[in-house]
Amino acid sequence: MAKKVLKRIDPKNDFFEHSNIRIKFHGGDGHSVCSPIVSAFLSLALNLPIPAGIAMTGQLSDDDEMLLRVGGIRDKVGCY
């Protein structure tokens, strides 16, 4: 996903062509960390920091084209 987004926003950036980054998640752990991992890779590739104070969660669609909605945010952060 990060490669696809980078090619869309900065076609001349070849960061991922010269990087050997691999991450493997076991079981169901990978789904909820997709958006933070993609954001971290893009931050690295573009040399732009992610602003402080941002919380992320989210799953990518099966074709890695979009971030899916998440539910239960209030429950997850303890707000009632």
Catalytic residues: 32, 76
CA distance 59 to 29: 11
C-beta separation of 62 from 2 below 8 A: no
First to last CA, the chain: 34
